[in-house]
Amino acid sequence: MNKAVFLDRDGVITHDPPHYAHRIDQLKLISKSADAIRLLNETGFKVVIVSNQSGVARGYYQEKDVEIYNSAMEKELEKSGAYIDAIYYCPHYPEAEIEAYRINCDCRKPKPGMLKRAENDLNLDLKRSFLVGDKIIDIEAGYRAGCKTILVLTGHGNDELKKNAKMNIKPNYISKDLYTASQIISKNAKSLERN
């Protein structure tokens, strides 16, 4: 079975613009995020993006815009020798403007549906896997899937930490950014092999 690192996209890999990342001119990688992903690739982890994209359900952009943005991001990462093994996103929102997306799905984080789908698709051992996110809902999704979790302080991370000082669900680690998180994961990789 494979081990994976699940990454939220906006605020972890890419800068989170003020209003829903969906245009290529908004795409800007966070410093050293490509290096982080390359390190995870080299350490033998599947790298999987799991991202809520409720802007689709709210009518701000379409699913094809998410796919164009993701493709552009992958090309940017490839310039540094980094690659993504799979991308999952949730376009749903319970109070959606667009009726087709107005569902209470199992894939919108904090629910672990995207991680469970990846588990089946990529033959993953979630207990040997990590989730890295900048929001408590990311951490909860990872926790519910049985992964170790890392809250990064980029994106919404600092604010989330201040707001949730007494978190019910605490991350296993807190890291200043994805690169530091990748170092933590890399150091833990050998002990995961022994378990």
Total number of domains in the chain: 1
Nearest to 90 by CA among 3, 8, 157: 8
Structure tokens at 122: 């990529």
Q: What is the pLDDT of residue 97?
A: 87
Long-range contacts for 116-120 (Cβ within 8 Å, ≥24 apart)? 116/145, 117/88, 118/4, 118/6, 118/46, 118/48, 118/50, 118/86, 118/88, 119/145
Question: Structural domain of residue 54, as residue ranges?
Answer: 4-194
Q: Tell me the average pLDDT across 80-85.
A: 98
Instruction: Lowest mean pLDDT of 33-37, 126-130, 163-167, 176-180, name the range.
Output: 163-167
Structure tokens at 81: 């020798």
- Phi/psi for 107 (5° steps) reads -100, -15
Question: Which amino acid makes up residue 14?
Answer: T
For all residues of the chain together, what is the average pLDDT? 94
Nearest to 45 by CA among 112, 130, 117, 152: 130
Q: What is the pLDDT of residue 189?
A: 80
Domain harbouring 85, CATH code: 3.40.50.1000
For tokens 């978190």, what's the residue? 167
Q: Tell me the average pLDDT across 174-186.
A: 97
Q: What is the pLDDT of residue 195?
A: 47
pTM for this one? 0.95
Return the active site residues.
8, 10
- Phi/psi for 108 (5° steps) reads -75, 120
For residues 172 and 162, the model is more confident at 172
What SS3 state is found at 11? Answer: coil
Contacts of 15 (CB under 8 A, 6+ apart): 28, 29, 30, 155
Q: What is the pLDDT of residue 193?
A: 58
Q: How many residues does the chain have?
A: 195
pLDDT digits (tens, 9 = 90+) for 29-67: 999 999 999 999 999 999 999 999 999 999 999 999 999
Q: How many CB atoms lie within 10 A of CB 190?
A: 9
Q: What is the pLDDT of residue 162?
A: 82
Banded model confidence at residue 166, pLDDT cuts 50, 70, 90: low
Structure tokens at 101: 């997306």
Rounded CA gap, 121 and 108, in Å? 18
Does residue 191 surpass a pLDDT of 90? no
| DSSP 8-state symbol, 131 | E
Contacts of 44 (CB under 8 A, 6+ apart): 3, 189
Rounded CA gap, 65 and 133, in Å? 22
